C-alpha cells in the first residue's frame, strides 16, 4: 500500500488537469465520469490504506521528494497516513465521491460544468494534501489550497458581484487565520527545530509545558483553525460562502474543509495538551460560537444560510470538544457531521434544484409529497444533527457534552441549550420546507420534481451513514465498545497519558444523555407546534420584527460591525495614506526639495544683477570674508 | 640724491605697505562708487600703481632688483590694458553713446 | 568560458539591433535575448553550486586606480543572471503586439540595459559595480521618457534624479572603502577583509543604504516608484520592476551588509522597521487604488519591503527566501504588468472601476491572470509562497513580532489583489469590456511561460534554492563571524 | 619651449596672411601650426619626468606642462575647426581673430609652464587681454560690447589683487621664483604675515580667472554676451589653463601652508558649487546655463587643489579634458542650433532629435558627461575629484559635492528632454562636415575616456 | 622721513580727489598729480629708472591716452550720472572694511625695520638692465606678445566696421 499512497492525492489532481484542459472539449458526461471515477479510485486506495493501518496499527510514511531545504530548515514533500488521517481520507474521498456523483446531476445545466469538476477535483487534491502531509508545511499547502478552491467555488458564478465578494471575503478571512497558522509553524520550528509531526510531537511530549511557549504556539495554530473552521470572530465568511453551488457547500463548507481546523488541532493534540490555557480558550470560543451561530440560525429564512450557521455551530461544538480534551469526541463529531451535514446540504440542493433555484424557505413548503426521497433523507439528517438517538449525531454530540460536563457544568448547560436550539432550527427548516403548502409561484409549482437518481443515490447513502454512522463510537456506558476511540488511541496516546483517563459514572452519563435528548425533543416539539400547527411563516424582509428576532435575523449585525470597525477604517486609511501621507507628505516633500531648489535658483540668480558695480561690491565682500575667515582660522591652527 | 635717500632709511617698511594698502583701497573704492567706465578704469590704474610702489619698496628693502623689473612688466601690462580698455570704451560709446556702466546691464540673471 | 561573454553579448547585440529596421529589430532583439538566455543556461549547466566564484574574469581596466574588470558568478549571482536573462526575452516578447516608433533604439536600449544589469549582478569590483549600476539606469530613463505616458517627462526626470542621487552616495561609499584598502583597490574581497570601526561602518552603511533603499524602494524613499511604473511603457515597467529593483536587493546582500557588518548591526532594527512599514503602508494604499498599474506598483513596494526585511534579518532563511523571491517576484510582476498592458492596450484604460466581467469574454486570460494573482499572493505551490515563507521565517528568527506585522502582507496582499481581480475580471461585463478579446499569439506564449514558471518553481523550488545555498551560507557565516569577533572587543 | 615659440609665430604669420587676403589659408595654417606645436610639445615627454627649469628658472616645461599644453592645444584645434565660416559672419578681419586666439593660446602655454610669478603674470595677462578683445569682436552687438567691457573692467580689477598678492609674496620671500618661494615657506619658522595675505590675494586673483564664487560674477554675463565660439574657448581652454596655473602655484609653493589656505578654498569651492548649480537651474538660455555650469565645474576642479596631493594634477587634467570636450560639443551644437532659430534658449533645442539625430545624440553624450554619468569622461573626472576629496577630508565635503551633482542633473537633462521629448515644427538642422568631425570626434573621445580611462588616468 | 609722510599724504589726498572729482577730466588731472607723487616716492626709494619710466609711461603715455579718449567721447557731455548716496556710502564702507581687514591681516602694528638701501646702485638702468636682459629676458620677450596682441586688438576694436555704417 505504501507504494501507491501518493496516488491518493495525485488522482484528483490528474482529474483537475484533465478536466481543466478538456473543460470545453470533453462532453459533460465524460467530465463527470472522469472526475468521479478518479475520486472513487482515491477512495478505494484510501480504504486500502485504512485497512492496512487497521490491521498493522502502524502509520504509513512516504516521502515523495524534497520540497525545499534551507539551512537546517528542511521540508520533504512527504505523506503520513495514520489512524487520524486515514479516517479523514475516507471522509474526503468517500463523501467527496458522493458529492461528485450528485453534482453530475445538479450542475448538469450549468455552462461551467467542466470548470466545476476541475475545481472540485482540485479541492479534493488539496484536502488530501492537508490531511496526508507529514509536516505542518504540507498541511499548510493543503490548508491554503482548499482556501483557494473555496474561493474559486464560492465565486463560481462570478458574474454576480456579491458572489465574487463572498469568495474574496472567504479567502481573506481564511488568510487571517493562515497567518496565525504560519506564525505557529515558525514558532514550532524555532522551538522544536523541525516541523515534521513525528519530530515535533515526540520532542514536545518529552518537555514540560513551561519549556516552550506552548500557549503561544497553540494559540497561533488555533487562530489558523478559527479562520478555516469559521469560529468567532472569523465566521462570517462561511454563511456568505453559500453563494457557491450547493454541492460545494456540502463538500467544502460542511463536510471537509471547515473541519480542517479540528483535524489540525487533533493532529497537534500533544501541543495543545501541554497548553491548558489554550484549551480553555478553545473551549470557550467553541462554545460561544456554537451558541452564537445557533442563535442566528433560529431566524434565518434562506435554507442554505440555516445550514451554514448550523455548520458554524456544529464546528463550535467540535472545538468545545477539543477544548475540553475530548479529542476523540470532537473527531467523532467531525465524522458524523460530515455525513449528516453533507446530506442536509445535498438535500437542500435537491430542494433548490426542484424549486428552480429558490432558496428562501418563505417561498417553499409542502414539498414532502413532491420530493419524497429528499424529504426522508433530510429528515434523517435533521434527526441526526439534533442529537436524537440512535442516529449518528447523538453519539458524537453526547461524547462532547459529557466531556464538557466533566470540565465545567456551565459548558455543559450552555452546550445543551445550544443543542436545543439546533434541534429547533433544524426542524423549523424541515417543517418550513416540507410541510404546509407550497408558497412559491405557480410556475415553480409546475416545475416541482424529484431529483434524478444520481442525485438521490448519494442522498440515500449519506442518510444511511447518518443513521448508522454513530455506532462506531457507542460509549461504554451504553454497552458499546467505542471502536473509534480504540482505533484512534495511538494518535492521542501521549495526550491521554498527560491528561489521564477521564470517565464519568455511568448514571451521571445516562442523566446527561437523557437531558440532552429530552431537550432536543422538546425543541422539536416546539418547532412542530409553531411551524406546522400554527403554520407560522417568517415575516417578509420589509416587515418589523421583535427586537431580539431582528437582532438574530440580522446576524447580530456582525458584518456591519466588521464593516464599520475594520473595512471602512482601512479603506479610509488607504485613501488617507495615499492622498495625504504619500502624495502630500512624502512625495511633496521630495518634490519640495526640487521645487525649493528651483525657488532658490530664482532667488539666487537675482544676485547676478548685471551691474558691474554690484559685482565688484560683492567681490569685495567676498575678499573681506575670506581674509577674515583665513586669519581667524589661522589663529586656531597656531 | 644720496642724502635724500638716506633720509628714507628711517621709514619703516610697514609705512610703505600701509600707504600702498590705502591707495589700493582708494582705488577699490573708486571702482565701487563711480559709474563712468573711464574713471573706474583710472581707479584700477591707481590700484596697479599702489602695487608698483609696494614692489619698489620691497625691492629696495630686499636689495633685490627683480622687484623693480617686475614693475616694468606691470607697466607693460598697464599700457596694453589701456590700449584695449580704451578701445572697448570707444567701441561701446559708438554703439550706445554712453560709457555709464549702469546702462550696461542687459546681460543679467 | 568567462562571464565576459555574458556581459558583452548584450552590448554587441544592442549595437547590432540598431542596424535593423523596425520589425526586424524586434526579432533580432528577441533572438539575441534568447541566445543570451541560452548562454546563461550553459553557464548554469557548468556551474558548481558551491560557495566559490566561477567563470571569473579579471582584467586590468584602470590599474593605477586599482580598478579591474573583475567579475564572476557565484550562487547568488547565478540566480540574478538567470532572472535577468530569463526575463529580458520575455519582456521583449511582451512587446510583440506593440508598434514602437524608433523600435531599433528601443530594443537596443533594453539590451544595453541588460548588459548593465548583468554587470551589476556579476561585478566583483566596486568601480565596475557602480558603472554597471548607472549603465542600467540611463537606458531605462530613455525608455521611460521616450515611450512613456503623458506626464513622463516630469516623472522620469524625478525618477532619474532620485535614483541617481542615491547611487552617488553609494559611489562615495565605494570610494571611501577603496581609500581604506591597504592595496588601494576596488576588489570586493578586499573590501570584505577591511575592519573599520563601527562608526565608520555606519557611514558606509548609510552611503550604500540610501542607494539601495531608493532603488528597491524602501519606505519612505518610494514615491518615485508608483509614478514611474505608471508612466513608463509596459516593457520599461517590467524591466524596472522585474529586474532593476533587484539591483537594490542584490546590492544589499552583496555590497551593503558584508561591507559594513557593524554599521549594519547598528542600524539593523531601523532598516527592518522601515522595510516592514513599507509592507503595511504600501499594502494599505493599494487597497483603494483604481489605476491598475499603480496598484501593482504599490503591491511591488510591499513585496519588496518583505524581501528587504528578510535580508536585513540576515540569516540563511531570509536570504534564501530573498533569492528565490527575487526570481519569483520578477516573474510575477512581469506577468502582472503584462496583464495590465494587455488590458490597457485593448480597452485604453487602466481604471479598475471601469472594468469588470472580462473573465466571461476571455476565459484563458482569466486563468492566467488568476494564476499570476495567486503567485503574487503567495499561495502554496506557487513560486511566491516559497519566498514569502522563507522570508517571514527569516524575519521571525530576527524579530518575532515584526514578523507578525510583516506577515500582514499575506492578508493584505490577498485583499488588494483579489479586489483587483474581482473588479477587473468578475462581475458582469459592461459595454467596454464586452469588446475584450482573449489572449492570443505571443501573449499566450508569454503568459503561458510565466504561469508554468509560477507553478513549476512553486512545486519544485529546490533546484533554484540549491544554486545559491552554498554562497548564501558562506556569506551569512562570514558576516556573522565578523560581527561576533567585533563584539568581543 | 618650441611650442611656445611656434604658437607665438603662427599668429604673426596669420596676420601677414590676412594682410595678403589669403583668407582660405588661415584656418589650415592655424590648424597645421597647432598640430605641429602639439607634436613638438609631446616630443618633449619624458618618463620619468626629468625636466628642469629653464631660462633662469622662468619656465619648467615638464610633463605637467606638456599634458596641459596638449589638452589646451587640442581643444583649441577643435574650436578652431568649428570656426569655419563663423568669423566671416562677424566681420572681415578674420586673420586678426585667429591671431588673437593664438596669442591667447601662447599666453596659456606660458601659464601652464611658468616657474616664476613673472611668467605667471605675463601669461595670464596675455591670455586675458586677448580675451577682452575676443569677447568684444561682435562690434555691433550690444551684448558683445557689454561682455567685453564687463570682462575688461572686472578682469583689470582682479588683476590688481593678483598683483598685490604677488607683491606681498615677493615682499615676504624676496623672490618671484617658485622654488625660492617654496624654500622660504618650508625653511622659515615664522612666516611673515604678509605672506599669508599674499596667498589670500593670489587666491582671489586666480579664483577670478577660473570663475569661482564669489568672484564668478563676470562669468555668466561674459559667456552669454561673447560670440559663442569665444565662449567655448573661454570656458574650456581658458578654464583649464587657469586651473593648471592655480595648481602649479599652490602645489609648488604653498603646499606646506595648506592648513592656512585650504579651509578658505574649501568654502570657496562649496559656494561655487552651490551658486553655479542652483543658479543654472532656472536659466532659460542654454548658453547662460552652460556659463553657470562652468562655474559649478570650477567648484569641482577646486577640489583637486583643496585636496592637494600627488594625484591632483592628473585629476585636474582628466576633469578638465572631460569638461572641455563636452563643452565643445555643447557649444558647437549651440552654434548650429542658433543659426536655425536665432535663439539660444532651451526651447530652440526642442525636437532636435528629429531635426538632426546625430546632433541630438552627441549633445546627449556631452550632457551626460557634464552631469557625470558613468561611461562618459565626465564621470571619470568626478570620480577623481571625489576620490581626492575623500582622501583628504571627511565625507561632508563630498556629500555636498554629491548634492550638487544631483542638482546639476536637472538642468543638463533639460536639454536632453527638450531634444527628445518636446516636439517642434522646425526644419532640419544641417551639420557641416567640420562640425560633424569635431562633434563626432569629441563624443567618441568622451565615450572612450569614459569606458577605458586607463590611458589618461596616470599621465602626470 | 618727513618727506615721505608729506608725499604719502599727498598721494592719498590726490588719489581721493581722483575718485571723488565730479568731472572725469578733473579725475585725470588729479591722477596725474597722484602719479607724480609716486614718481617722487620712487626717487625717494632710490629707484631712479623706475621713477623716470613711471613718469614717461604713465603720465606721458597712459594718462594722455585717457585724456584723449575722454575728450574724444565725452567732450560735450554733462558729467556722468552719479550713483546714489546710499550706494556710495556702502561702497566707502566696503572699501574701508577692505582696508581695515587687509591692514589687519598684514599685522602692521608690529614694529618693522626701516627700508634700508643695501645696494645704492640698485635702481640704476645698468643694474636693472642686467637683471632684465639676463634673468628676465624671457618674460621681456614674451611680453612682446602681450603688446602685440593688445595692439592688434585695439586696432580691431577701435576701428569702425565698414559694414556697420549700414
Domain ranges, ordered by start, for chain B: 2-97
Of C17, C5, C14, nearest in space to C41 by CA: C5
Q: Residue E115's pLDDT is what?
A: 66
Number of domains in chain D: 1
Same domain, E73 and E132: no
Same domain, E134 and E69: no
Judging contact as 3 or more Cβ pairs under 8 Å, the answer for E and B is yes
Q: Residue D452's pLDDT is what?
A: 86
Q: Mean pLDDT across the stretch E97-105?
A: 79
E164 band by pLDDT with thresholds 50, 70 and 90: very low
Of A537, A553, A295, nearest in space to A424 by CA: A295
Question: For the segment A399-438, what is each residue's pLDDT rounded down to a tens digit?
Answer: 888 888 888 888 888 888 888 888 888 888 888 888 878 7
According to the per-residue pLDDT averaged within each range, which of A480-484, A609-613, B45-49 is highest? B45-49
Rounded to whole angstroms, the Cα distance separating C360 from E77 reads 92
Tell me whether A608 touches chain B (CB under 8 Å).
yes
Q: Which residue has the cell 519566498?
A: C387
Host H or E run for residue B55: helix B37-62
Main-chain phi, psi angles of A64, to 5 degrees: -85, -55
Question: For the segment E111-141, what is each residue's pLDDT rounded down to a tens digit?
Answer: 566 666 666 777 788 888 888 888 888 999 8
What is the rounded average pLDDT for all residues in chain B?
84
Rounded to whole angstroms, the Cα distance separating A460 from A599 reads 83
Q: Mean pLDDT across the stretch D145-164?
A: 92
Contact B106 A610 (CB under 8 A): yes
Which CATH fold would you assign to the domain B2-97? Helix Hairpins (1.10.287)
Main-chain phi, psi angles of C357, to 5 degrees: 70, 15
Rounded to whole angstroms, the Cα distance separating A384 from D24 reads 115
D153 in Cβ contact with B37 (< 8 Å): yes
| Residues contacting residue A580 through CB under 8 Å, at least 6 positions apart | none
E65 in any annotated domain: yes
- Chain D residues inside the 8 Å CB shell of A619: 154, 157-158, 204, 208, 214-215, 217
pLDDT at residue E82 above 70?
no
Same domain, E68 and E6: yes
Q: Mean pLDDT across the stretch A278-292?
A: 87
The nearest CA of chain C is from the CA of D277 a distance in Å of 14
Rounded to whole angstroms, the Cα distance separating B62 from A615 reads 37
List the Cα angle C29/C31/C37 in 5-degree steps. Answer: 105
Instruction: Break chain A into its structural domains and give their ranges.
Output: 561-637
Contact D221 A610 (CB under 8 A): yes
The three-class DSSP label of residue C67 is: strand
pLDDT at residue D180 above 70?
yes
CATH number of the structural domain spanning residue E73: 1.20.120.1200
Contact E97 A617 (CB under 8 A): no
Count CB pairs under 8 A between chains A and E: 22
- Chain C residues inside the 8 Å CB shell of A151: 418
Q: Which residue has the cell 461551467?
A: A112
Q: Residue B47's pLDDT is what?
A: 92
Q: Residue E166's pLDDT is what?
A: 36
Lowest mean pLDDT among A92-96, D211-215, E93-97: E93-97
Of C290, C189, C284, nearest in space to C230 by CA: C290
pLDDT at residue E78 above 60?
no
Contact E98 A631 (CB under 8 A): no
The nearest CA of chain C is from the CA of A330 a distance in Å of 28
Q: Residue E161's pLDDT is what?
A: 67
Tell me whether D220 touches chain A (CB under 8 Å).
yes
Alpha-carbon Rg of chain C, whole angstroms? 21
Q: Which residue has the cell 600702498?
A: B20
Tell me whether D390 touches chain C (CB under 8 Å).
yes
Cα C300 off chain centre by? 10
Can you give the residue range of the structural domain that contains E33? 1-77
- Chain E residues inside the 8 Å CB shell of B12: 111-115
E117 in any annotated domain: no
Grid cell of E59 as nine digits: 603720465
Tell me whether A609 touches chain B (CB under 8 Å).
yes
Tell me whether E135 touches chain D (CB under 8 Å).
yes
Tell me whether C434 touches chain A (CB under 8 Å).
no
Buried b (16+ CB within 10 A) or exposed e, A561-574: ebeeeeeeebeebb
Contact E105 A617 (CB under 8 A): no
Q: Residue C251's pLDDT is what?
A: 92
Can you give the residue range of the structural domain that contains C398? 3-488
Contact B46 E41 (CB under 8 A): no
Contact E139 D132 (CB under 8 A): no
Task: Determine which of D126, D195, D199 to mutate to test the interface with E (most E C-beta atoms within 10 Å).
Answer: D126
Q: Which chains are adjacent to chain E, needing at least 3 Cβ pairs under 8 Å?
A: A, B, D
Q: Mean pLDDT across the stretch A506-529?
A: 84
Q: Which residue has the cell 529586474?
A: C243
Amino acid at each position: 500500500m505504501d507504494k501507491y499512497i501518493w496516488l491518493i492525492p495525485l488522482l484528483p489532481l490528474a482529474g483537475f488537469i484533465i478536466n481543466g484542459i478538456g473543460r470545453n472539449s470533453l462532453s459533460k458526461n465524460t467530465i463527470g465520469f472522469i472526475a468521479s471515477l478518479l475520486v472513487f479510485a482515491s477512495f478505494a486506495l484510501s480504504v486500502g490504506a485504512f485497512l492496512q493501518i487497521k490491521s498493522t496499527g502502524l502509520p504509513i510514511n512516504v516521502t515523495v521528494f524534497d520540497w525545499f531545504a534551507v539551512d537546517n530548515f528542511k521540508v520533504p514533500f512527504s505523506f503520513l497516513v495514520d489512524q487520524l488521517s486515514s479516517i479523514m481520507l475516507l471522509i474526503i474521498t468517500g463523501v467527496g465521491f458522493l458529492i461528485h456523483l450528485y453534482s453530475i446531476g445538479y450542475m448538469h445545466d450549468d455552462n461551467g460544468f467542466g470548470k466545476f469538476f476541475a475545481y472540485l477535483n482540485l479541492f479534493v487534491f488539496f484536502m488530501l494534501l492537508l490531511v496526508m502531509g507529514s509536516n505542518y508545511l504540507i498541511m499548510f499547502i493543503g490548508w491554503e489550497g482548499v482556501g483557494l478552491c473555496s474561493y474559486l467555488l464560492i465565486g463560481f458564478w462570478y458574474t454576480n458581484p456579491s458572489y465574487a465578494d463572498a469568495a474574496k471575503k472567504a479567502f481573506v478571512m481564511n488568510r487571517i487565520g493562515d497567518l496565525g497558522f504560519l506564525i505557529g509553524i515558525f514558532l514550532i520550528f524555532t522551538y522544536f527545530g523541525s516541523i515534521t509531526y513525528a519530530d515535533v510531537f515526540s520532542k514536545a511530549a518529552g518537555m514540560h509545558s513551561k519549556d516552550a511557549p506552548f500557549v503561544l504556539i497553540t494559540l497561533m495554530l488555533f487562530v489558523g483553525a478559527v479562520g478555516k473552521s469559521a469560529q468567532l470572530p472569523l465566521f462570517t465568511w462561511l454563511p456568505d460562502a453559500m453563494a457557491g453551488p450547493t454541492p460545494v457547500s456540502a463538500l467544502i463548507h460542511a463536510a471537509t474543509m471547515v473541519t480542517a481546523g479540528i483535524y489540525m488541532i487533533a493532529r497537534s493534540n500533544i501541543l495543545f495538551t501541554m497548553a491548558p490555557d489554550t484549551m480553555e480558550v478553545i473551549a470557550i470560543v467553541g462554545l460561544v460560537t456554537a451558541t452564537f451561530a445557533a442563535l442566528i440560525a433560529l431566524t434565518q429564512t434562506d435554507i442554505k444560510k440555516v445550514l451554514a450557521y448550523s455548520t458554524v455551530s456544529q464546528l463550535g461544538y467540535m472545538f468545545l470538544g477539543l477544548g475540553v480534551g475530548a479529542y476523540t469526541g470532537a473527531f467523532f463529531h467531525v465524522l458524523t457531521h460530515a455525513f449528516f451535514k453533507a446530506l442536509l446540504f445535498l438535500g437542500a440542493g435537491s430542494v433548490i434544484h426542484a424549486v428552480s433555484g429558490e432558496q428562501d424557505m418563505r417561498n417553499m413548503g409542502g414539498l414532502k409529497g413532491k420530493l419524497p426521497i429528499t424529504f426522508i433523507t433530510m429528515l434523517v439528517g435533521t434527526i441526526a444533527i439534533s442529537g436524537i438517538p440512535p442516529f449518528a449525531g447523538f453519539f458524537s454530540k453526547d461524547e462532547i457534552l459529557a466531556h464538557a460536563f466533566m470540565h465545567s457544568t456551565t459548558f455543559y448547560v450552555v452546550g445543551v441549550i445550544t443543542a436545543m436550539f439546533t434541534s429547533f432550527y433544524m426542524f423549523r427548516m424541515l417543517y418550513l420546507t416540507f410541510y404546509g403548502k407550497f408558497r412559491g409561484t405557480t410556475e415553480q409549482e409546475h416545475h416541482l420534481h424529484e431529483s434524478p437518481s444520481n442525485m438521490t443515490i448519494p442522498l440515500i447513502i449519506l442518510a444511511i451513514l447518518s443513521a448508522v454512522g454513530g455506532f462506531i463510537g457507542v460509549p461504554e456506558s451504553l454497552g458499546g465498545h467505542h471502536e473509534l476511540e480504540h482505533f484512534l488511541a495511538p494518535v492521542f496516546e501521549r495526550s491521554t497519558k498527560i491528561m489521564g483517563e477521564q470517565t464519568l459514572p455511568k448514571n451521571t452519563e445516562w442523566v446527561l444523555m437523557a437531558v440532552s435528548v429530552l431537550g432536543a425533543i422538546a425543541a422539536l416539539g416546539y418547532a412542530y407546534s409553531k411551524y406546522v400547527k400554527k403554520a407560522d411563516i417568517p415575516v417578509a424582509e420589509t416587515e418589523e420584527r421583535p427586537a431580539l428576532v431582528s437582532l438574530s435575523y440580522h446576524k447580530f449585525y456582525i458584518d456591519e460591525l466588521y464593516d464599520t470597525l475594520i473595512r471602512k477604517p482601512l479603506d479610509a486609511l488607504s485613501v488617507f495614506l495615499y492622498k495625504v501621507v504619500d502624495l502630500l507628505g512624502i512625495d511633496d516633500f521630495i518634490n519640495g526639495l526640487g521645487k525649493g531648489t528651483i525657488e532658490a535658483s530664482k532667488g539666487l540668480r537675482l544676485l547676478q544683477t548685471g551691474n558691474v558695480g554690484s559685482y565688484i561690491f560683492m567681490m569685495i565682500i567676498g575678499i573681506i570674508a575670506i581674509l577674515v575667515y583665513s586669519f581667524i582660522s589661522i589663529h586656531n591652527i597656531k | 640724491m644720496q642724502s635724500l635717500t638716506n633720509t628714507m632709511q628711517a621709514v619703516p617698511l610697514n609705512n610703505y605697505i600701509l600707504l600702498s594698502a590705502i591707495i589700493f583701497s582708494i582705488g577699490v573704492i573708486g571702482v565701487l562708487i563711480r559709474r563712468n567706465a573711464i574713471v573706474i578704469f583710472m581707479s584700477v590704474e591707481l590700484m596697479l600703481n599702489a602695487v608698483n610702489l609696494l614692489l619698489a619698496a620691497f625691492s629696495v628693502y630686499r636689495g633685490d632688483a627683480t622687484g623693480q623689473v617686475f614693475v616694468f612688466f606691470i607697466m607693460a601690462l598697464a599700457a596694453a590694458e589701456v590700449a584695449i580698455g580704451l578701445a572697448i570704451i570707444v567701441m561701446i560709446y559708438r554703439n550706445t553713446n554712453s560709457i555709464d556702466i549702469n546702462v550696461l546691464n542687459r546681460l543679467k540673471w | 568560458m568567462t562571464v565576459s561573454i555574458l556581459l558583452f553579448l548584450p552590448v554587441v547585440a544592442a549595437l547590432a539591433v540598431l542596424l535593423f529596421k523596425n520589425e526586424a529589430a524586434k526579432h533580432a532583439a528577441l533572438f539575441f535575448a534568447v541566445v543570451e538566455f541560452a548562454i546563461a543556461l550553459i553557464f548554469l549547466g557548468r556551474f558548481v553550486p558551491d560557495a566559490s566564484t566561477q567563470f571569473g574574469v579579471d582584467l586590468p581596466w584602470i590599474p593605477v586606480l586599482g580598478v579591474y574588470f573583475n567579475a564572476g558568478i557565484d550562487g547568488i549571482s547565478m540566480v540574478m543572471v538567470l532572472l535577468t536573462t530569463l526575463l529580458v526575452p520575455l519582456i521583449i516578447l511582451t512587446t510583440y503586439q506593440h508598434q514602437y516608433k524608433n523600435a531599433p533604439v528601443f530594443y537596443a536600449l533594453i539590451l544595453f540595459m541588460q548588459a548593465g544589469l548583468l554587470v551589476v549582478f556579476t561585478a566583483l569590483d566596486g568601480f565596475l559595480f557602480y558603472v554597471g549600476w548607472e549603465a542600467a539606469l540611463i537606458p531605462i530613463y530613455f525608455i521611460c521618457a521616450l515611450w512613456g505616458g503623458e506626464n513622463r517627462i516630469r516623472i522620469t526626470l524625478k525618477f532619474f534624479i532620485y535614483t541617481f542621487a542615491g547611487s552617488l552616495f553609494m559611489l562615495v561609499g565605494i570610494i571611501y572603502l577603496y581609500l581604506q584598502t591597504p592595496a588601494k583597490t576596488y576588489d570586493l574581497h578586499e573590501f570584505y577583509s577591511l575592519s573599520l570601526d563601527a562608526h565608520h561602518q555606519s557611514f558606509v552603511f548609510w552611503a550604500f543604504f540610501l542607494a539601495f533603499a531608493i532603488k528597491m524602494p524602501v519606505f519612505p524613499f518610494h514615491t518615485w516608484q508608483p509614478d514611474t511604473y505608471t508612466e513608463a511603457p509596459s516593457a520599461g515597467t517590467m524591466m524596472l520592476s522585474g529586474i532593476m529593483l533587484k539591483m537594490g536587493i542584490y546590492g544589499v546582500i552583496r555590497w551593503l551588509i558584508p561591507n559594513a557588518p557593524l554599521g549594519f548591526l547598528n542600524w539593523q532594527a531601523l532598516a527592518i522597521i522601515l522595510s516592514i512599514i513599507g509592507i503595511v503602508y504600501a499594502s494599505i494604499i493599494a487597497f483603494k487604488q483604481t489605476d491598475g498599474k499603480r496598484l501593482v506598483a504599490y503591491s511591488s513596494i510591499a513585496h519588496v519591503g518583505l524581501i528587504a526585511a528578510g535580508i536585513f534579518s540576515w540569516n540563511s532563511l531570509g536570504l534564501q527566501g530573498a533569492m528565490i523571491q527575487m526570481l519569483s517576484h520578477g516573474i510575477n510582476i512581469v506577468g502582472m504588468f503584462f496583464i495590465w498592458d494587455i488590458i490597457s492596450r485593448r480597452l485604453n484604460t487602466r481604471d479598475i472601476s471601469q472594468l469588470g466581467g472580462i473573465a466571461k469574454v476571455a476565459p484563458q486570460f482569466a486563468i492566467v491572470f488568476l494564476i499570476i494573482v495567486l503567485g503574487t499572493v503567495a499561495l502554496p505551490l506557487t513560486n511566491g509562497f516559497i519566498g514569502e515563507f522563507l522570508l517571514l521565517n527569516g524575519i521571525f528568527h530576527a524579530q518575532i513580532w515584526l514578523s507578525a506585522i510583516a506577515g500582514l502582507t499575506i492578508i493584505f496582499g490577498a485583499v488588494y489583489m483579489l479586489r483587483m481581480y474581482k473588479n477587473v475580471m468578475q462581475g458582469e461585463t459592461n459595454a467596454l469590456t464586452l469588446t475584450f478579446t482573449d489572449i492570443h499569439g505571443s501573449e499566450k506564449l508569454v503568459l503561458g511561460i510565466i504561469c508554468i514558471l509560477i507553478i513549476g518553481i512553486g512545486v519544485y523550488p529546490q533546484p533554484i534554492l540549491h544554486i545559491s545555498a552554498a554562497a548564501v551560507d558562506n556569506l551569512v557565516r562570514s558576516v556573522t563571524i565578523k560581527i561576533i569577533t567585533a563584539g568581543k572587543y | 619651449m618650441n611650442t611656445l615659440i611656434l604658437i607665438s609665430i603662427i599668429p604673426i604669420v596669420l596676420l601677414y596672411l590676412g594682410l595678403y587676403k589669403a583668407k582660405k589659408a588661415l584656418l589650415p595654417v592655424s590648424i597645421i601650426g597647432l598640430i605641429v606645436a602639439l607634436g613638438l610639445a609631446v616630443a618633449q615627454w619624458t618618463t620619468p619626468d626629468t625636466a628642469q627649469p629653464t631660462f633662469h628658472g622662468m619656465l619648467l616645461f615638464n610633463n605637467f606642462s606638456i599634458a596641459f599644453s596638449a589638452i589646451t592645444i587640442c581643444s583649441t584645434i577643435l574650436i578652431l575647426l568649428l570656426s569655419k565660416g563663423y568669423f566671416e559672419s562677424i566681420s572681415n578681419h578674420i586673420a586678426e581673430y585667429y591671431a588673437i586666439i593664438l596669442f591667447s593660446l601662447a599666453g596659456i602655454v606660458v601659464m601652464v609652464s611658468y616657474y616664476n610669478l613673472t611668467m605667471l603674470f605675463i601669461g595670464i595677462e596675455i591670455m586675458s587681454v586677448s580675451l577682452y578683445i575676443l569677447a568684444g569682436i561682435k562690434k555691433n552687438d550690444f551684448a558683445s560690447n557689454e561682455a567685453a567691457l564687463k570682462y575688461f573692467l572686472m578682469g583689470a580689477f582682479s588683476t590688481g589683487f593678483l598683483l598685490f598678492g604677488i607683491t606681498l609674496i615677493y615682499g615676504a620671500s624676496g623672490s618671484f621664483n617658485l622654488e625660492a618661494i617654496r624654500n622660504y615657506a618650508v625653511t622659515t619658522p615664522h612666516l611673515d604675515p604678509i605672506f599669508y595675505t599674499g596667498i589670500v590675494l593670489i587666491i582671489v586673483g586666480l579664483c577670478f580667472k577660473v570663475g569661482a564664487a564669489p568672484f564668478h560674477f563676470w562669468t555668466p554675463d561674459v559667456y552669454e554676451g561673447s560670440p559663442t565660439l569665444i565662449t567655448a574657448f573661454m570656458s574650456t581652454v581658458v578654464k583649464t589653463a587657469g586651473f593648471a596655473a592655480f595648481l602649479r602655484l599652490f602645489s609648488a609653493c604653498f603646499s606646506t601652508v595648506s592648513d592656512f589656505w585650504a579651509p578658505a578654498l574649501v568654502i570657496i569651492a562649496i559656494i561655487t558649487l552651490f551658486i553655479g548649480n542652483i543658479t543654472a537651474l532656472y536659466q532659460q538660455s542654454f548658453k547662460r546655463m552652460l556659463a553657470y555650469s562652468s562655474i559649478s565645474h570650477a567648484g569641482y576642479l577646486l577640489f583637486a587643489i583643496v585636496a592637494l596631493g600627488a594625484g591632483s594634477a592628473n585629476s585636474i587634467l582628466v576633469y578638465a579634458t572631460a569638461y572641455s570636450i563636452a563643452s565643445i560639443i555643447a557649444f558647437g551644437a549651440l552654434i548650429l542650433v542658433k543659426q536655425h532659430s536665432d535663439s539660444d534658449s532651451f526651447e530652440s533645442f526642442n525636437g532636435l532629435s528629429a531635426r538632426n539625430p546625430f546632433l541630438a545624440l552627441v549633445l546627449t553624450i556631452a550632457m551626460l558627461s557634464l552631469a557625470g554619468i558613468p561611461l562618459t569622461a565626465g564621470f571619470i573626472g568626478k570620480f577623481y575629484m571625489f576620490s581626492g576629496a575623500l582622501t583628504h577630508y571627511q565625507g561632508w565635503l563630498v556629500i555636498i559635492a554629491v548634492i550638487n551633482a544631483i542638482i546639476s542633473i536637472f538642468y543638463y537633462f533639460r536639454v536632453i528632454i527638450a531634444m527628445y521629448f518636446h516636439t517642434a515644427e522646425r526644419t532640419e538642422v544641417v551639420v557641416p562636415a567640420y562640425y560633424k568631425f569635431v562633434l563626432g570626434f569629441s563624443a567618441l573621445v568622451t565615450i572612450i575616456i569614459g569606458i577605458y580611462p586607463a590611458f589618461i588616468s596616470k599621465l602626470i | 622721513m618727513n618727506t615721505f609722510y608729506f608725499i604719502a599724504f599727498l598721494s592719498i589726498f590726490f588719489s581721493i580727489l581722483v575718485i571723488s572729482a565730479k568731472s572725469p577730466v578733473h579725475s585725470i588731472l588729479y591722477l596725474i598729480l597722484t602719479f607724480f607723487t609716486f614718481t617722487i616716492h620712487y626717487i625717494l626709494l632710490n629707484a631712479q629708472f623706475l621713477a623716470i619710466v613711471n613718469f614717461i609711461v604713465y603720465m606721458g603715455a597712459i594718462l594722455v591716452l585717457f585724456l584723449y579718449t575722454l575728450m574724444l567721447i565725452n567732450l560735450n557731455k554733462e558729467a556722468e550720472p552719479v550713483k546714489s548716496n546710499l550706494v556710495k556710502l556702502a561702497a566707502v564702507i566696503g572699501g574701508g572694511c577692505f582696508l581695515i581687514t587687509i591692514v589687519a591681516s598684514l599685522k602692521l602694528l608690529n614694529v618693522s625695520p626701516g627700508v634700508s638701501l643695501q645696494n645704492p646702485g640698485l635702481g640704476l638702468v645698468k643694474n636693472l638692465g642686467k637683471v632684465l636682459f639676463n634673468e628676465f629676458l624671457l618674460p621681456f620677450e614674451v611680453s612682446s606678445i602681450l603688446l602685440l596682441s593688445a595692439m592688434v586688438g585695439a586696432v580691431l576694436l577701435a576701428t569702425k566696421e565698414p559694414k556697420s555704417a549700414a
